[in-house]
Amino acid sequence: MQTDELERTLRPSLGDRITSVEAFPDTAGRVRFRREAALDVFRSVHALGFHHLSTVGGIDWVDHREVFYILWSDDTRQYVVLSTDVPASDAHVESATPVWPSANWHERETWELVDITFDHHPDLRHLLTPDGYAFHPLLRSFKLHEPEELEVKARHV
């Protein structure tokens, strides 16, 4: 599946809920969508045969944050990338767990490391850091702490 074919398939049903479909190395393309339409986009892309959710991640671009989903299709043996921008002050997006249950842990990791909340997530708990951990270590504003300082904070959360 080529990038233009991907856009021709998705555009009629989704309209302006996807902002662009662009070429991306080693994939069928990168679909950028509005975060309000997340579940619609997930269902449409899942219907194309992209049944395997490989990764969910987040990027801190300082002025905003980006959530991306990497999907794999066993039929066409291709990846596709979905991505959306969320403002840093209001970083939340709909959870992908109704469509791909494997998004569960990926979204927990993204939530605790990049501070992006996933709405209607079934079990949004800490995955890699201890419960109540107060830091989001993959944000660019995070500075390396002295061990003692971190220890005090990690113990008293």
Partner 1 sequence: MTTPASAPRLARSATQPESFRADGDLLMAGQPAVPFVEIEALRVKEFIPAAKEALTDLIAEQGQSKLIRPVFNWAGRNSLFPLHWGLACCAIEFAAAFGARWDAERFGVVPRSSPRQCDLMIVNGTVTWKVAHKLITLYEQMPEPKWVIAMGNCATGGGPFRTAYSVVPGVDKLVPVDVYIAGCPPRPEAMLDGILRLETLIRERKE
Task: Give the footprint of partner 1 on this chain (CB under 8 A).
Answer: 126, 128-130, 133, 135, 137, 142, 144-148, 150-151, 154
CA–CA separation, 105 and 33 (whole Å):
22
CA-to-CA separations, 85 to 26, 58, 145, in angstroms, rounded: 22, 10, 29
Q: Given the complex with partner 1, which of 34 and 145 has the nearer CB atom?
A: 145
CA-to-CA separations, 96 to 50, 118, 155, in angstroms, rounded: 13, 8, 32
Q: Given the complex with partner 1, which of 90 and 146 has the nearer CB atom?
A: 146
Q: Report the relative pairing of strands 18-22 and 30-33 from DSSP bridges.
A: antiparallel
> Minimum CB separation from partner 1 for residue 70, in Å?
24
Q: Given the complex with partner 1, which of 19 and 129 has the nearer CB atom?
A: 129
> Minimum CB separation from partner 1 for residue 54, in Å?
24
> Minimum CB separation from partner 1 for residue 123, in Å?
16
